[in-house]
Protein backbone atom coordinates (compact mmCIF):
# COMPACT_ATOMS: atom_id res chain seq x y z
CA UNK A 1 0.00 0.00 0.00
CA UNK A 2 1.08 3.53 -0.75
CA UNK A 3 -0.04 5.29 2.41
CA UNK A 4 1.77 8.55 3.19
CA UNK A 5 4.33 8.12 0.44
CA UNK A 6 4.92 11.10 -1.79
CA UNK A 7 7.42 12.29 -4.35
CA UNK A 8 8.95 10.63 -7.35
CA UNK A 9 11.31 7.66 -7.31
CA UNK A 10 13.26 8.40 -10.53
CA UNK A 11 14.11 4.67 -10.82
CA UNK A 12 16.63 4.88 -7.98
CA UNK A 13 16.90 3.69 -4.44
CA UNK A 14 16.66 6.22 -1.63
CA UNK A 15 20.36 7.03 -1.20
CA UNK A 16 21.22 7.62 -4.85
CA UNK A 17 17.97 9.55 -5.36
CA UNK A 18 18.75 11.90 -2.45
CA UNK A 19 22.30 12.38 -3.73
CA UNK A 20 20.99 13.19 -7.22
CA UNK A 21 18.50 15.77 -5.94
CA UNK A 22 21.14 17.30 -3.66
CA UNK A 23 23.61 17.65 -6.54
CA UNK A 24 20.94 19.15 -8.82
CA UNK A 25 20.02 21.64 -6.10
CA UNK A 26 23.67 22.55 -5.57
CA UNK A 27 24.25 22.97 -9.31
CA UNK A 28 21.17 25.17 -9.60
CA UNK A 29 22.40 27.45 -6.82
CA UNK A 30 25.89 27.69 -8.31
CA UNK A 31 24.87 28.15 -11.97
CA UNK A 32 21.39 29.73 -11.57
CA UNK A 33 20.06 27.58 -14.44
CA UNK A 34 20.47 23.91 -15.37
CA UNK A 35 19.24 21.70 -18.19
CA UNK A 36 17.96 18.31 -17.08
CA UNK A 37 15.09 15.93 -17.74
CA UNK A 38 11.61 17.16 -17.01
CA UNK A 39 11.02 14.63 -14.23
CA UNK A 40 14.26 15.57 -12.44
CA UNK A 41 13.46 19.27 -12.75
CA UNK A 42 10.01 18.76 -11.25
CA UNK A 43 11.48 16.67 -8.44
CA UNK A 44 14.14 19.31 -7.68
CA UNK A 45 11.75 22.24 -7.47
CA UNK A 46 10.13 21.58 -4.04
CA UNK A 47 13.52 21.06 -2.39
CA UNK A 48 15.02 24.29 -3.69
CA UNK A 49 11.88 26.26 -2.83
CA UNK A 50 12.01 24.93 0.73
CA UNK A 51 15.73 25.68 0.96
CA UNK A 52 15.31 29.31 -0.10
CA UNK A 53 12.44 29.83 2.31
CA UNK A 54 14.63 28.56 5.13
CA UNK A 55 17.55 30.71 3.96
CA UNK A 56 15.37 33.83 4.09
CA UNK A 57 14.81 33.27 7.82
CA UNK A 58 18.53 33.78 8.36
CA UNK A 59 18.87 32.12 11.76
CA UNK A 60 22.02 30.26 12.73
CA UNK A 61 20.19 26.93 12.73
CA UNK A 62 18.90 27.56 9.20
CA UNK A 63 22.38 28.55 7.99
CA UNK A 64 23.81 25.32 9.38
CA UNK A 65 21.00 23.32 7.78
CA UNK A 66 21.71 24.89 4.38
CA UNK A 67 25.46 24.26 4.64
CA UNK A 68 24.77 20.63 5.53
CA UNK A 69 22.35 20.33 2.63
CA UNK A 70 24.28 21.92 -0.28
CA UNK A 71 27.78 22.74 0.96
CA UNK A 72 29.51 25.89 2.12
CA UNK A 73 30.37 27.44 -1.27
CA UNK A 74 26.82 27.05 -2.60
CA UNK A 75 25.38 28.32 0.71
CA UNK A 76 27.63 31.39 0.50
CA UNK A 77 26.51 32.07 -3.07
CA UNK A 78 22.88 31.61 -2.09
CA UNK A 79 23.23 34.11 0.75
CA UNK A 80 25.30 36.77 -1.04
CA UNK A 81 23.94 36.82 -4.61
CA UNK A 82 20.60 35.02 -4.84
CA UNK A 83 18.77 36.02 -1.66
CA UNK A 84 18.99 39.79 -2.29
CA UNK A 85 17.43 39.25 -5.75
CA UNK A 86 14.67 37.01 -4.36
CA UNK A 87 13.90 39.15 -1.29
CA UNK A 88 10.67 40.64 -2.70
CA UNK A 89 9.14 37.25 -3.56
CA UNK A 90 7.32 35.11 -1.01
CA UNK A 91 7.25 31.93 -3.10
CA UNK A 92 7.69 30.74 -6.67
CA UNK A 93 11.46 31.19 -6.82
CA UNK A 94 12.03 28.82 -9.72
CA UNK A 95 10.75 28.45 -13.27
CA UNK A 96 10.69 25.30 -15.42
CA UNK A 97 10.72 25.81 -19.19
CA UNK A 98 10.40 22.93 -21.60
CA UNK A 99 13.27 22.55 -24.06
CA UNK A 100 12.13 19.73 -26.37
CA UNK A 101 13.42 16.17 -26.43
CA UNK A 102 16.90 14.69 -26.16
CA UNK A 103 17.98 13.11 -29.43
CA UNK A 104 19.57 9.96 -28.01
CA UNK A 105 16.67 8.60 -25.96
CA UNK A 106 13.79 11.03 -26.63
CA UNK A 107 13.65 12.11 -22.99
CA UNK A 108 11.77 15.35 -22.46
CA UNK A 109 14.23 18.05 -21.40
CA UNK A 110 13.53 21.08 -19.26
CA UNK A 111 15.50 24.04 -17.97
CA UNK A 112 15.01 24.95 -14.32
CA UNK A 113 16.12 28.43 -13.38
CA UNK A 114 15.55 31.12 -10.78
CA UNK A 115 12.99 33.85 -11.34
CA UNK A 116 15.20 36.89 -10.74
The answer to whether 33 and 48 have CB atoms below 8 angstroms apart is no
Predicted pLDDT at 64: 97
Share of the chain above pLDDT 90, in %: 93
- Per-residue pLDDT averaged across 59-85, rounded? 96
Parent domain of 79: 14-114
Instruction: Give pLDDT, residue 85.
Output: 95
Residue 70 sits in a domain whose CATH number is 3.90.1030.10
> Quick one: how many helices (H) and strands (E) in the chain?
5, 3
User: What's the pLDDT score for residue 54?
Assistant: 95
The answer as to whether 7 is a domain residue is no
| Strand spans (E) along 1-116 | 33-37, 94-101, 108-114
Average pLDDT in the chain: 95
Q: How far apart are CA 26 and CA 57, in angstroms?
A: 19
- Give the pLDDT of residue 4: 87
For 96, the enclosing helix (H) or strand (E) is strand 94-101
Question: What confidence category does residue 17 fall into, taking pLDDT thresholds of 50, 70 and 90?
Answer: very high
Distances (CA, A) of 111 to 38, 82, 100, 102, 114: 8, 18, 10, 13, 10
In the predicted structure, residue 2 carries a pLDDT above the cut 90: no
Task: Report the number of distinct structural domains present in the chain.
Answer: 1
Within a domain: 8: no
Residue 62 maps to a domain: yes
Amino acid sequence: MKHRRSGVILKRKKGPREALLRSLTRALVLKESILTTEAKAKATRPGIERLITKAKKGTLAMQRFIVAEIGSDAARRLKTTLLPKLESRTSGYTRITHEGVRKSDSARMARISFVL
